[in-house]
Structure formats: C-alpha cells, structure tokens
Amino acid sequence: MNKIFFLLLLVVTNSFSQDLKLDSLKIGASAIINSNHKSIQITAIDKMIIKEKRIITVYNSDGLSYIDAHQMYNKSISIKDISATIISPRGQELKKIKKKDFKDYSATNSSTFVSDDRVLALSYTPTGYPFIAIIESEIEYKTTAFVPKWFPVLGYDVAIAKDEFEITNTSGIKLNFKEFNLDKYVKVNKQIEENYLKYSIENLAVLGVEDMMPSALNILPHVDFSLETFELEGVKGEAKEWTTFGKWMYQDLLVQSNDLPQEAKDKIKKLVEGIDNPIEKAKKVYEYVQNTKRYISIQLGIGGWKPMKASEVDKLGYGDCKALTNYTKALLEAVDIPSYYTVVYGSRGEKKDIQPDFVAMQGNHVILTMPYNGENYFIECTSQTSPLNYKSNFTDDRFVLKVGEDGGEILKTGSYATNESKQESTGEVYLFANGALKVNAEINSSGGQFEKTAMLKSFSKEELDKYYKEYFDFIHNLKLSQTDVLENKELINLTEKLSFETNKYSEVYGSDLIFCPNVLNRQEFLPKRNKNRKYPFQVLRGYLDTDNVIINLPEGYVLEGLPNSIVEKSKFGEYEVSFKALNESKIEYFRKFTVFPGTFENSDFEEYRKFREKVLKSDNIKILLKKKP
C-alpha cells in the first residue's frame, strides 16, 4: 500500500510576486518558495487537470528537496508537460530542462518489489547557491479518487513568500473538503464559492524544528478534498457517507478477490477441527497464514487498491497487505468467523487517523477486524511473528475504516495502557573486590514493550551478543555466558534470561570501592535545553519499568551507608528508587519508572527536562564501600 502514500505525498502543493520581504524570510531558510501556484480543474468524473508553477530560491543543499520536481505516472496519470528552468540570482537563465530530459525511473524501491508505476524526475546539479528554480507542470488524471491536498508548509526550514491553491470544479459533482489547523501557526486566506475554492498564505517565515514535536498533521495548516463520486482507474466510486463508500469498496474492489477455492476451505476447516472457541480457531488460522504466506510488496491493479485474489495468494504463497488481509478474511470465513477488511494509516512516529467526518479515499495500509464478544480484534496480516490482536504501535490507538457488505464503519483501534506496557527486570548481582561483576538477570517485557524485544527470538548468538553489548553499553567488556529468550504469545510477553560478567565494573581507589547499583536499566535520554520552546511536545506512548536487583557485596568490604530513597512525581511520569541493606553483605535495589503519554504545553518543557534530568542523575547514583580494616 506504499503506493497510495506515495501518491498523496507527490500531489502536494504554487505563483510569482516580486515585492516581497525576502530578507526577513531568509533567516534560517534552506529555501524560500517565492511563489507556488497550483490550479486544479475538475471537469468530469474522469478528468482532472492540475497545473502548477513553482518558483523557489534554494540557499543550500538542504533546500534542494523543496524543488520537488518529480511526478509519478501510469495508465491513468499522464504528464502533459513538465519543465524546469534554473536562474541565477541576477536573473540570468542558467539551464532549461525539458520533459524529455527528465529522468525516467521505475517506482520500485527498497520496500516495493514490483510496481507498474513510473516516475519522471528532474536531475540537476546545482552550480552554486543561491539559485532559483522554476518548475512548471501540467498533469492529466483520469483518476479523480485523489484530489490533491493543500499542504503548503513542506518543511520546517522553508519560508514561503506566497502560496496559492485553487480548485475549479465544473464536473457537477459535489466536492467536499475539510480544513485542519488553519489558524494555529500560520495565517491562511481563503475564498470559498460555489464550484471554486482558493487558499493562500503569504510571507511565512521559517517555522523551525524542535524535539518531540507533534506530527505536522496536528500543527500545520492543510485542507483535504474529496469528490462525492469519483473514478479510480476506470472504476466508479462514491464518497457521500461511509456506508455507501464502504459498500462501493466492498463490491468493486473486494468481492471479486474473495474466491478461496473449496480445497483451501476444506484444508483450513480440517486444521481447526475440534476447536470450538472462535478465538482459538482464529489463532490457528492466523498462525497458518504466518507460517505459510509471506509479505512482498507488489503494487499492481487499480492503483494499488485492489487486493490480489485469495485463490492467488493461496496458490503463490505471498501477497502484500491487501492480499494477505483479504486472504486471512477468506480463511476465517471458511471456519465461520466473520471478519472485515479494514483501512488504516500505518505509521509508528505518529498516530494518524482516517478522518471520521470526512468521507474520502484515505489510508496507506490494511488490517483485519474481527469482532468477538463485543470487542474488536485488529489483526496485522503482514506480520509473520505477531500474536493475534497485538496492538502494534504501527496501527494502535487511531480511527480506521472497517469495510463490509453493509458498508463502511469508523472504528478505533486499541492500545496498551501505561501500566500494561511493562518491562520488569530482576537480577542477582555479584561484585568482586577486583572490580569484577557477575549478573544473572531476567527481563520481562509485555504489552507495548513486547514489540521492541520481539525480534530477539529470532536472533542468532552473535546477534544477541551484539544486542546486549549495546543494551548494556554502560558496562564495559561485557561477556555473555548464557542467553535464553522465551516468548509467550498468549500473554503477550517475552522473557529474556541472561548471565553476563565483566572484569571491570566497580571502581577501586585504595580502600574505597565504588559502584552503581543500577546494573540493568539506565536512562540515557535527556532532551536538549530550550528556554524558548515554541511548540507543544508529545509523548506518544507511556510505559512502566521496574527493576529489582539483589546485590552481593564483595568479600572484605563493608557498607559505609546507603543513599536516600528518591521519589519524584510529575505530570510527565513518576520515578522511585530505593536502596535497602538486607544484611551486611547484601543490598536490595528497587527502581520504578513510569512515563505518562500526553501532549504538553510548550511552557511545560523546562519542567519536563528537569524531571528527565533528575531521573538520569538518580539512575547513576553510586554506593561507596570500605575495605574491612
């Protein structure tokens, strides 16, 4: 489903005006969009013409990406014309690149193995900075399912002198639109008439980037558009309401692919024979798909929207997300478990929603929804390892579109609560008088934290060795003596058992021996100081770590005293650490660290930093031992 995403990215953003306050816009800018004028004319259900003219001043190599002179094409997108003119700051024409001189690429890449799309892209080597690029294009679309968004701010290091976007719709079909963040950080002008819309911004300085920023979708202005009836590579569709949209999708894109052969049905029935509980049955089916079918990205057919037939997947043993989802659905159906093809935006860095109140082609990925006992199970069919209903951070906690015979329905996927995303570390530590250390430990990860360790199961010894040397990068010369990784898919947890040692952990100074009792889990993250924080900051997911470690002191040493316990509470999380002498040669170390998810005000940032600093320092507290006289 990569392709869909690609499409949306491409169809972003265009004019020219000389009397600009360019100097003030230049501050911090890798590029300035002098003018960008884009006009979209929708004249019929199968005809949309997009004309663009973009004038950009590029100040350095970081600004090159804003030239953005590349265009995808295929059977239903034809490039009428595309050209680039490069001009020196003094206005002298340096180079003119015509359509025939654009490079022609296949749209395959590291994540798409096969695709029938191609891309025309500008290849130009700048001969100095700054320079001005003028890009003009005219593209004709037979597909009107994706009316380009208006998303004028393409980055945090670009300034915009002028951006204008207009749509003229003479097709007679209603054009719906939804506006986002129009008044947040950027002032937007708009003009809305019947059959004509125009948005523009002017003189926008560079916005600048900060750590832990919310997704651009949540702060930058953009407008989405959708035609109530549209065409997708020759197939007519309808987007009035989710019910009818869903029915269309089901009838025109999915039904034909639901053609599992009887033989395959019999096989799967046999496989679940004797199992009554639907969940157990579903697990068996899911496992079957995971073990026998593999994911491969093949973007062919109706713009990458129509799944490969279930019979094909059965025969060939592979498919992309659509194909594998459709196939799993067909298998479940064969054993009388209803489930639904479900469109979602898959992304880990942000929780991107299908806009519930805006009916349109959306999403870049597909999962399966299986309702059971009033609860929805969301199944990731491209994963070969995930437990059924694992709430992966690729698709968790967001609105998705469930598609069925009765139409479409918006649902919200589940997520793990902070205290369900646990990492519990326990261990016994032996310290030696020469500074050496031996550790037997167990790390148990569950819920949201299961995902980050799930890959360990398939690691070779060498890979585990490398992983632990990095995980415990504060312990030098680490030598692993034993590792064991146990996964429990039922409980969604993973236990790592490991033993390691090093010849150098404690520091010995004369009769003093100093060590850090926090052997298993130290926070290293400290956000950068920022006294003029501009944006809110975001912690997408919460988690809870606990550490329980018994420390056996080296022979011949006595404890001089223990550090005080620390408890730190804030709206960002809670931290607790305590040290307890069990007897004269044993200490118990306890640590509990909870991080709360949330979006916090910019004014809270300094407080947040202090909290994290406190955690970092407390994690590194050391204990002093004295040699027995």
Nearer to another protein, 287 or 420 (CB): 287
Rounded Cα gap, residues 107 and 100, in angstroms: 18
Q: Rank residues 458 and 599 by Cβ distance to another protein and give the closer one.
A: 458
By CB atoms closer than 10 A (0-12, 13-18, 19+), residue 420 is middle
Q: Which residue has the tokens 């979602």?
A: 344
Nearer to another protein, 369 or 383 (CB): 383
CB-count exposure of residue 494 (10 Å: 0-12, 13-18, 19+): buried
Considering the complex, state which of residue 128 and residue 374 has its C-beta at the smaller distance from another protein.
128
Distance (Å) of CA 186 to CA 22, 203, 207: 17, 10, 9
Question: 477 or 481, CB closer to another protein?
Answer: 477
- In degrees, rounded to 5, the angle at the alpha carbon of residue 559 between the alpha carbons of residues 553 and 563 is 105
User: In whole angstroms, how close is the CB of 113 to another protein at the nearest point?
Assistant: 6
Q: Please, what is the minimum distance in Å from the beta carbon of residue 210 to another protein?
A: 12
* Shortest reach from residue 112's CB to another protein, in Å: 11
Nearer to another protein, 126 or 414 (CB): 126
Q: Is the Cβ of residue 318 or residue 358 nearer to another protein in the bound state?
A: 318
- Which residues make up the interface to another protein (CB under 8 A)? 60-61, 95, 106, 108, 113-114, 123, 125-128, 291-294, 296, 298, 312, 315-318, 384-385, 458, 460-463, 466, 469, 473, 476-477, 504, 507, 509-510, 512, 514, 526, 528, 560-561, 617, 622, 624
C-alpha distances in Å from residue 54, one per residue of 51, 88, 221, 535: 10, 16, 19, 29
| Sheet hosting strand 543-552, strand order edge to edge | 479-488, 493-502, 437-446, 422-431, 543-552, 586-595, 573-583, 566-570
**Least distance (Å) from another protein to the CB of residue 406?**
33
**DSSP state at residue 421:** S
Q: CA angle at residue 524 from 521 to 530, to 5 degrees?
A: 150
CB of 291 to another protein, least distance (A): 6
- Other C-beta atoms closer than 10 Å to the C-beta of 583 total 7
- With b for 16 or more beta-carbon neighbours within 10 A and e for fewer, the 383-399 pattern comes to bbebbbbbbbbbbbbbb
CB of residue 312 to another protein, shortest distance in Å: 8
The SS3 of residue 3 is helix
Q: Whose Cβ is closer to another protein: residue 313's or residue 370's?
A: 313
Nearer Cβ to another protein (310/344): 310
Query: Min. distance of Cβ 622 from another protein in angstroms?
Result: 5
Residue with structure tokens 């058992």? 497
Q: Closer to another protein by CB, 504 or 627: give it.
A: 504
Min separation Cβ 473 and another protein, Å = 6
Taking the C-alpha atoms of residue 316 and residue 144, their distance in angstroms, rounded to an integer, is 33
Give backbone dihedrals phi and psi of 252, rounded to 5 degrees, phi first.
-95, -25
**With contact defined as beta carbons under 8 Å apart, do 534 and 208 qualify?**
yes
Residue 8: strand, helix, or coil: helix
Distance of closest approach, residue 26 Cβ to another protein, in angstroms: 12
